[in-house]
Amino acid sequence: MRREKIAFVCQRYGLEVNGGSELYCRQLAEKLAGHYNVEVYTTCAIDYVTWKNEYQPGTEEIHGITVHRFLNVRQRDQRSFDQISQRVFANAAHSDAEERKWIEEQGPVCPELLDELAKRHLEYKAVIFMTYLYYLSAKGLPMGFENALLIPTVHDEPPVYLRYYDSVFSSAKGFIWNTPEEQTFAEQRFPNIRKIPGVLAGVGVDVPEGPLPEIPESLRGVPYITYAGRIDESKGCGEMFRYFQEYKKQYGGMLKLILMGKAVMEIPSDPDIVSLGFVSDEMKFAVMASAKALVLFSHFESLSMVVLESMIMGRPVLVNGACEVLKGHCVRSNAGLYFTSYTEFVGTLNYLLTHPTQYEAMSENAVKYVEENYRWERIVETICQLIEGSFTR
């Protein structure tokens, strides 16, 4: 029996793309391929800052998934984007036209993709838009596809309060949420979506098979906390550097901060702050497994895959309590601590380092939390139920 088709719409897609929502899209596409014929509509961009066309347009296959690539009509003009962002977010009386201009300047501007999808969308049981924020979802969902689902990856950030997004969210025929906090926030911001079907799914954690590699020799036997992800001011990394350096001035010791990921901001020149750059998944898990904890200063998360990855390796997390999603992980799992100030950061970090019995219990709770709540089998089943329940033919 021929399986029905579904499509994902995502701004970037490929083995070279390592962003959170984009990686999540690829993982979901590959997992759902066991139930549907899955296709992906995406752009030719790798870099989310410039949207430069780096892939070739056309159709290719990646891990059994058919991927349709379309050219962006232009790269982002950072000066223009900054100017319209200033006008929109600094002036509450900004116009609807200025909001539309902001969507365009943010990009990736790829009307050809949306035109093709408009012609073909009825071929698919469901068309799943990934993230609410970017051009493809912002322009695509209001086109009125009757089989459109949205994985919003939404959190409390300035763009979500733009009036433009009222129509984006209300146009979805179903939602796939990552955490209870994400769903609660979205339904408070967009009360009319409460009547639209939705499921709480999240993301599974794929631990590499086989033994993990040795961590770099310079880290062996050295106590460290680690950060994994884009090294960016928007992820709270500047504050992380300041807090950690102040902590070392105050307490000294051998503790280091190990960074994994692409840097888009300056990293302090400090022997106790070590950047490994981009590493393989295998090395990422190996470094996490040997860390004292994962730290995450981000104010804005809708799930945080790295938190779950650290937990499945049996390592507690230390996170920014201003982010309700991250705080929620800690409260539900009893496998992490959260802070909202430098003083609290010091207190929570020192607690992890000086309470071995409690630390061991948190490590066990971490693994249990991920195994009980973030198994791919449950996630895929939940999403399939939404697709089958929302769209019958």
207: pLDDT strictly greater than 90: no
- pLDDT tens, residue by residue, 165-175: 999 999 999 99
User: What pLDDT does residue 205 have?
Assistant: 85
The Cα–Cα gap between 307 and 98 comes to 36
- pLDDT tens, residue by residue, 138-159: 999 999 999 999 999 998 999 9
With contact defined as beta carbons under 8 Å apart, do 150 and 141 qualify?
yes
Over the chain, what is the mean pLDDT?
A: 94
Instruction: Over range 20-46, report the average pLDDT.
Output: 94
Instruction: Over range 269-274, report the average pLDDT.
Output: 97
- Give the 3-state secondary structure of residue 282: helix
User: What pLDDT does residue 390 have?
Assistant: 66
Binned at pLDDT 50, 70 and 90, residue 393 comes out as: very low
The Cα–Cα gap between 11 and 235 comes to 20
- pLDDT tens, residue by residue, 69-122: 999 999 999 999 999 999 999 998 999 999 999 999 999 999 999 999 999 999
CA dihedral 108, 151, 328, 281 (to 10 degrees): -70
Annotate 118-171 with DSSP letters as a single string: HHHGGGSSEEEEE-SSSHHHHHHGGG--TTEEEE----S-GGGGSTHHHHHHHH
Binned at pLDDT 50, 70 and 90, residue 230 comes out as: confident
75: CB partners within 8 A, 6+ apart: 50, 51, 52
19: pLDDT strictly greater than 70: no
343: pLDDT strictly greater than 90: yes
In order of their start, the domains of the chain are 5-204+375-390 (3.40.50.2000), 217-373 (3.40.50.2000)
User: What pLDDT does residue 391 have?
Assistant: 58
Kindly state the tokens that stand for 293.
């904890």
